[in-house]
Structures are given as C-alpha cells and as structure tokens.
Amino acid sequence: MKRLAICLGFLCLLMTPAMAISEFGKQWKSEYLGEGADPDFVKTGKKANCYVCHVKGEKKEEARNEYGKAIHEYLKAEDFPKEYIKDNPEEAKKKILEGFKKAAEHKSKDGKKFGEKIKENKLPATDAGL
C-alpha cells in the first residue's frame, strides 16, 4: 500500500508540467484558432496541434521548434503548476497571452515575425513539421 501511495505521488509530480503545457495549447488555440479565425487556418492549426511549438517525432520537453523556443523564453511549465491554474485561471490566462504576444515579436528563420505569419494564417514556425 505504501508503494502505491509513493507511485501515485510521483505520478502527480510528473503530471504537473503536462497540465501547464496543455494549458498553453488550450490558450493558443483559443487565441489564434477561436472565433473569427480563418477556417483553413483553424484546420491547419488543429492538425499541427502540439507541433505548432514542438518537433514531430521527438520528446516534447526537449524538442521545440523555433516558435516553441521563443515561447519558452517567456513561458515555463514549472511557473504554471496545476493548482495555480485552477486557483487563478484569469491571471494564468493573462500571463500566457502576454508570453504569446512577446514571442510573436521574434523573427522566424524566414525573416518574418511569428505574429505576422499568424496574421497571414500561417503556422509561425518554418520547421513545424507538417
């Protein structure tokens, strides 16, 4: 019984960063694929899913594409534990959207800012892997 409790506790610790990462994805989709978004871009964004920020076929924690690296400068999973998001949803959302806004000012490898590409209904990273 004690082993089970230890294992469950360990699993809970492992799940906290995933909660933050899923919250980042949820907020990105809400911000860029929500109401009023171009239907084709919505389809592309939903197809890309995690690969808007991550490299396909590699561990997400380690493999960020150029846009994911820009996002990671401003948003760290450990700064958004599950309890924080649950207890402060509006504050967490505001901080996440601020991170997106700052990352949007970074330039892609093709010379365009990530935010410009999103406004053009294109995925921000040139290496999104789709």
Residue 17 vs residue 78, higher pLDDT: 78
**What tokens does 93 get?**
């959302």
Helix (H, G, I), strand (E, B) or coil at 53: coil
What is the value of pTM for the model shown? Answer: 0.80
- pLDDT at residue 21, as a whole number: 74
Residue 126 vs residue 65, higher pLDDT: 65
Assign 16 a pLDDT band (cuts: 50, 70, 90).
very low
DSSP 107: B
Q: Tokens 């919250």 identify what position?
A: 23
57 sits in the region (left: phi over 0; alpha: psi -120 to 50; else beta) called: left
Give the Cα separation of 82 and 67 in Å (integer). Answer: 24
Give the Cα separation of 26 and 5 in Å (integer). Answer: 31
